[in-house]
Structure 1
Amino acid sequence: MKIVAFVPIRLNSKRVIGKNIKLLGGIPLMCHILHTLTSIKVIDEIYVYCSQEEIIKYLPSGVRFLKRPKFLDEDATLGKDIYEEFVKTIDADIYVLAHTTSPFMKKETVENALDQIINSGYDSAFSCEKVQTFAWFKNRPLNYELKEIPRTQTIEPIYVETSAFFMFKRDVWKISKQRIGFNPYFALVDKIEGVDIDWPEDFEFAEKIIETYNIKNE
């Protein structure tokens, strides 16, 4: 069984300028998730999928560069266009799609999700947060009735995808063109693992987390 991880990267980030190579805790943001992936022994190959070769100098040992077509850098490009091009190029039994914007993802969380696919019959997995509170969608309560307000301890939880990773077997993508299959494993993450850096304030928050971690370990 061949397991391949890939991390799509653009260097022309609009919301946080130079986000992927901006230093977080003394190393480029993108290196956090790459270091996590390289520590997982069952992953056979790890690729950074980027159109710009200048990124090669930032890659940790064990990470390969795969040049992707420039047309995938357009603002209108959908994620599934990127995944399709990668899957057409690199063959694998299980794909691990990971993102640089989740620097605090734990090795154990990724390993456990992979194990569920390999050994427990799941066809895919994705990182998510469990939210057990009163939620609304399209102007209506999503998980409770207004006339029957439950305790928060017993309310039906909702699960929110995080962008850290999506894992899927080859046929899930090739047949259905989906990064989540029909029998997915919900890989629960905590608040820190769930941090997603999309905006400048997110990066500042991540820096505070790093500072706190360093203080606690001095």
Structure 2
Amino acid sequence: MKVVALVPIKLNSQRLPHKNILPLAGKPLCWHILDTLCQVDKIDKVYVYCSDEEVVKYIPAQAIFLKRDKELDGDLVKGFDIYRKFIAEVDADVYVLAHTTSPFIKKSSIENALEKVLQGENDSAFSAERIQTFAWYKGKPINYDINDVPRTQDMEPIWLETSAFFMFEKEIFTKHNRRIGFNPYIQEVSDIEAIDIDEKKDYEMALKLVEMEKKSE
């Protein structure tokens, strides 16, 4: 089966200017997820889908730059519009959609989830953080009975999608317009892997984490 990774990038991010090329651990932010994907043996090609050729200066040599239309950089453009364009241009059996904002995702997490899809056990997979505590939504508890409060270790966990990756068979997207299929595998990731850099405070946290790791070496 042909497996292709897609990493959409735009250089004119709003909430955190120049987010994708900000330095982290001596490399641009976008470099980290791309380098991890390039190390996964069962991913045949890793594409950077960006409208600006300047991005080539910031990505690993193994990654493939594919220029996309400038119109896809618009603030009102949805991610699914970008994915649809890419899939129309690059054929594959399985797509691995990953995001630069998750620089700490582990190679082993990607490999494990991808294996589930390739073996046919699941039609898709996504990274998620396990939350096992009392949660409410619209004024009501959603994972426990307020009249019979359980121990937290006995609670049914809630899974929060992270931005790290979504994997899906081609038909899941082209036929059903979904990035999560009907029998998804949920890849549990650690707190650190779940870090998503969208705002300044997220970036500052990532910098502190890198600094702490340096000191512990």
Paired residue for 2:112?
Answer: 112
Helix, strand or coil at the partner of 2:192: coil
Counterpart Cα distance in 2 of 1:57 and 1:211: 25
Helix, strand or coil at the partner of 1:84: helix
Q: CA deviation at 1:120?
A: 4.4
Structure 1 outlier segments of 4+, above 2 Å: none
Counterpart Cα distance in 2 of 1:66 and 1:89: 10
Paired residue for 1:32?
Answer: 32
Structure 1, gaps ≥5 residues long? none
Counterpart Cα distance in 2 of 1:12 and 1:117: 34
Is 1:88 the counterpart of 2:97 in the alignment? no
1:3-152 residue pairs with structure 2 within 5 A?
3-152=3-152
1:75-124 alpha-carbon deviations (Å, 9 max, x no partner): 10111101100101100000000000000000000000000101142000
1:163-213 alpha-carbon deviations (Å, 9 max, x no partner): 000000011111101000000000000000000001100000000110011
1:125-164 alpha-carbon deviations (Å, 9 max, x no partner): 0000110000011111010111111111101111000000
Paired residue for 1:154?
Answer: 154
TM-score calculated relative to the size of structure 2: 0.99
Give the letter aligned to residue 52 of structure 1.
Answer: D
Give the letter aligned to residue 130 of structure 1.
Answer: R
Helix, strand or coil at the partner of 1:153: helix
Helix, strand or coil at the partner of 2:175: helix
Counterpart Cα distance in 2 of 1:95 and 1:120: 14
The root-mean-square deviation of aligned C-alpha atoms, in Å, is 0.7
Q: CA deviation at 1:41?
A: 1.0
Helix, strand or coil at the partner of 1:176: coil
Structure 2, gaps ≥5 residues long? none
How many equivalent residue pairs?
217
Counterpart Cα distance in 2 of 1:39 and 1:123: 23
TM-score calculated relative to the size of structure 1: 0.98
Paired residue for 1:174?
Answer: 174
